[in-house]
A = this chain, B = another copy of it.
Amino acid sequence: MNHGSTASGLQPTKGQRTRAEIVRRCAQLMNRHGYMAASVSQVVQATGIQKGGLYRHFASRQALAYEALDYAVAQIRERLLRAMQGHANACDQLLAMLDAYDFSEEGIDAVPFVGGCPIMNSAIESDHADGGLLERARAAMQGWHELLVRVVDAGIRRGEIRPGVDPHRTASTFIACIEGGVMLAHLYADFSHLQAVRGHLANYIDDRLRPAGAAGRRRQS
């Protein structure tokens, strides 16, 4: 049933293209309606493919949900990495992560992820229903956390962040602030909450992360 990438990676067959499109559409759908809460009928409507066709590509609704989540997490991760690559300084990279969640210019209903952050959504939903979802949510969060730790570590090594800073606690703090801000922005459909958090994190960086003498030479939100 795993028709993922069997026959080379050059010319995707029709089935592979269909399958990829299903995953893409489902990621959008399920990030709103819940990865486990979305019904097959909704998937049928969202993808334009019938049940009979769906079950050719995925063994179960659950398997499709997992794959959609994996896809969504990969998308978010890519967005984060791309946002970071625009900056050289570790502190700027940290702020860029938050900015990656700000869709205010693209509109709240824009791509890619209506429904908020998939990692947080699955983290919350995993408590409800499903063990497999929990595993995936934890793995996704862990990946993000480790990414942040690496950024902070590198910042310390490069002298962009004070030596005494604890990378793990800093990572947790950033994630908590970002996810909390995303939740508020999404709940109210109002990104000003995210901007408030951004200002807070910028201050935090100045107060506690940046080396004392180097304060304040960057764009302020």
What residues make up the interface of A, taking CB atoms closer than 8 Å to B? 32-34, 36-37, 115-116, 120-121, 123-129, 134, 137-138, 141, 166, 168-169, 172-173, 175-181, 183-184, 186-188, 192-193, 196-197, 199-200, 203-204, 207-208
Question: What 10 new A-B contacts, CB under 8 Å, besides A36-B37, A116-B124, A124-B125?
Answer: A32-B127, A123-B183, A123-B187, A124-B124, A124-B183, A169-B196, A173-B197, A176-B196, A177-B180, A180-B183
Q: How far is the CB of A64 from chain B (nearest CB, A)?
A: 17
Copy number in the complex reads: 4
Q: Check if A176 sits within 8 Å of B180, measured CB to CB.
A: yes
- Decide: B193 and A200 in contact? CB cutoff 8 A: no
Q: How far is the CB of A118 from chain B (nearest CB, A)?
A: 11
Cβ–Cβ contact B115 & A127, under 8 A: yes
What B residues does A192 contact at CB under 8 A?
172
Complex partner residue of A32 from B123, B128, B177, CB under 8 angstroms: B128
Contacts of A177 in B (CB 8 A): 173, 176-177, 180
User: What's the minimum C-beta distance from A36 to chain B, rounded to whole angstroms?
Assistant: 8
Give the most central of A125, A127, A199: most B CB within 10 Å.
Answer: A127
